[in-house]
Amino acid sequence: MSFSIAKRLNREDQPDYETNGHEPERRVAPPTVSASIGESTSSARVNWQQLKARVQRRLLEETDASANLDSDNLLQVRRTLEMLFSEILEQENIQLPRPDRARLFDVVAAEILAFGPLEPLLHDESITEIMVNGYDQVWVERNGRLEETSVKFEDEEHVRRIIDRIITPLGRRCDENSPMVDARLPDGSRVNAIIPPLSLIGPVLTIRKFATDPLTANDLLQFGTLTPALLDFLKACIRGRLNMVISGGTGSGKTTLLNVLSSFIPSDERIVTIEDAAELQLHQRHVVRLEKRPANAEGKGEIKIRDLVVNSLRMRPDRIIVGEVRSGEALDMLQAMNTGHDGSLTTAHSNSPRDTLARIETMVLMAGVDLPLRAIREQIASAIDVIVHQERLQDGSRKVVKVTEVQGMEGDTIVLQDIFEFRQVGLVGRKVVGEITAKGIRPKFLDKLAANNIHLPPSIFQVD
């Protein structure tokens, strides 16, 4: 007789559980164990994976996959699963020691209620990124370096099942007609999935984990990403309402730095954040968070970053923070910076401060507005005051390598001046050795900071 979770939840005579009303602690993937199997196997020894697959298959057959698994009833559903799990073990005449029984239930429950083999990786705070390359290869980033794990999926369908579990609650899909999808986990972690025919190695899943406790300015000082002098300078730029672009490559720490710098915005200002996937964790009280919306299954209802930037101008913002400019929204962001929304912040992918300006020019052209190149550059030179460029170095560390002032136009060229620069002096083992030093140049925007009653000591800009 098959029982659905929905029916089980309505039963009034639920027995007491070994958990005493609390959700069992999650455990990492267990080692290989053996168990005595009843009549069907004549007490033969089976390995853990075979046993897991056997019980999991029965449990999936018995449960109602359409049951609502929101946070309000997840614990109750887990208890119902545990009761059904016990019945299946009894029916199959599977005898397990109590610790192995608990481990087996945790693993099987993770397959049904959570994200299967990824669960221990998601709960490992030392891991910042998870990369699934097909069903038999899972890599992680730990301390800025990549390493392969022993985690494997059963087959490609298993990976697809986990992808569907991630995106279905968000109303998105990933199939042959739409083989790429962006999403996020309930904790805010960013997810990207791409499947065949676009991927030639099977389903590929990439998860950039969301920090439960976001890094602070002190953390960046401890990691060597910033120096005290540079931090004081950037804090003054934020409070002095300078428009800033944080640039760098993928995984260089742009969003982390943006989050730290945003914390210096005074709490009495109205902040509007606009993101592709909500990642910023601002602690000010007056914050309005906006997130773009992709098209639905019929290809309708898409709301782009650009639409949100335009709408934010009608929301009386003191500051506009765009998580990342990638396309035509760059033009609207420049317009906002040039029309009284001083102190706005954004990030952009690039290889250097000069390359940042070239990419912004290209993104403005993507807006579909026929503007001469000189007019675009004048908009950029007028809007942006500071470019902070960050890189992930060869030892995996993230560092601010250049802080550059946008000084204005000279002919048809935008004039840039480096204020701080990271100088690498060598390698000790695999660790990069160097320091961020001032270039001895006083930026022109010091007058603007002084107008906001912000004064920096001359020693910040002196060459050591």
Question: What is the structure's pLDDT at 47?
Answer: 58
List beta partners, residue 200: 202
At residue 310's C-alpha, the angle toward residues 309 and 311, to 5°, is: 90
Helical axes 373-383 vs 353-365, angle rounded to 10°: 120
Relative to beta strand 45-46, strand 127-133 is: unpaired
Instruction: With beta carbons less than 8 A apart as the criterion, state whether 240 and 287 touch.
Output: no
The CATH number corresponding to 119-208 among 1.10.3720.10, 3.30.450.370, 3.90.1150.10, 3.40.50.10420 equals 3.30.450.370
List beta partners, residue 388: 246, 403
As a whole number of angstroms, the distance between CA 182 and CA 57 comes to: 29
* SS3 labels along 170-234: HCCCCCCCCCEEEEECCCCCEEEEECCCCCECECEEEEECCCCCCCCHHHHHHHCCCCHHHHHHH
> Prior bond to 197 cis, omega within 30?
yes
Ranges of each domain in the chain: 5-114, 119-208, 217-461
Question: What is the structure's pLDDT at 49?
Answer: 62
Tell me which amino acid residue 35 is: A
What are the tokens at 90? 């009894």
Question: What is the structure's pLDDT at 401?
Answer: 95
Cα within 13 Å of Cα(82), Cβ side? 21
Residue with token string 């990419």: 359
Question: Could you name the CATH architecture of 217-461?
Answer: 3-Layer(aba) Sandwich (3.40)
- Taking the CA atoms of 61, 65, 66 and 67 in sequence, report the sign of the dihedral they define: positive
As a whole number of angstroms, the distance between CA 97 and CA 114 comes to: 25
Instruction: With beta carbons less than 8 A apart as the criterion, state whether 357 and 382 touch.
Output: no
What are the tokens at 322? 């765009």
Question: What is the structure's pLDDT at 165?
Answer: 86
Question: What is the structure's pLDDT at 178?
Answer: 84
pLDDT in tens, the chain (464 residues): 333 444 444 443 333 333 334 444 443 343 333 333 333 333 333 455 666 666 666 666 665 544 444 545 566 666 777 777 777 777 767 777 777 777 777 777 777 777 888 988 998 988 999 999 999 999 999 988 899 999 989 889 989 989 988 888 877 888 888 899 888 888 888 899 999 999 999 999 999 988 777 888 999 999 989 999 999 999 999 999 999 999 999 888 898 999 999 999 999 999 999 988 778 888 888 999 998 888 776 778 889 999 999 999 899 999 999 999 989 999 999 988 988 888 999 999 999 999 999 999 999 999 888 889 999 999 999 999 999 999 999 888 899 999 999 999 999 999 999 999 999 888 888 888 888 999 999 999 998 899 889 999 988 988 86
Q: Residue 241 class from Cβ within 10 Å (0-12 exposed, 13-18 middle, 19+ buried)?
A: buried
Which has the closest alpha carbon to 64: 40, 80, 45? 80
Question: What is the structure's pLDDT at 4?
Answer: 43
Q: Go through 34-63 and write b for each residue having 16 or more CB atoms within 10 A of its CB, e for each that does not.
A: ebebeeeeeeeebebeebbeebbebbeebb
What are the tokens at 383? 């809007």
Domains 119-208 and 217-461 alike in fold: no
Relative to beta strand 319-322, strand 345-349 is: parallel
As a whole number of angstroms, the distance between CA 223 and CA 253 comes to: 12
Contacts of 251 (CB under 8 A, 6+ apart): 129, 141, 392
CB neighbours of residue 216 within 10 Å: 12
What are the tokens at 350? 């690039």
As a whole number of angstroms, the distance between CA 287 and CA 271 comes to: 5
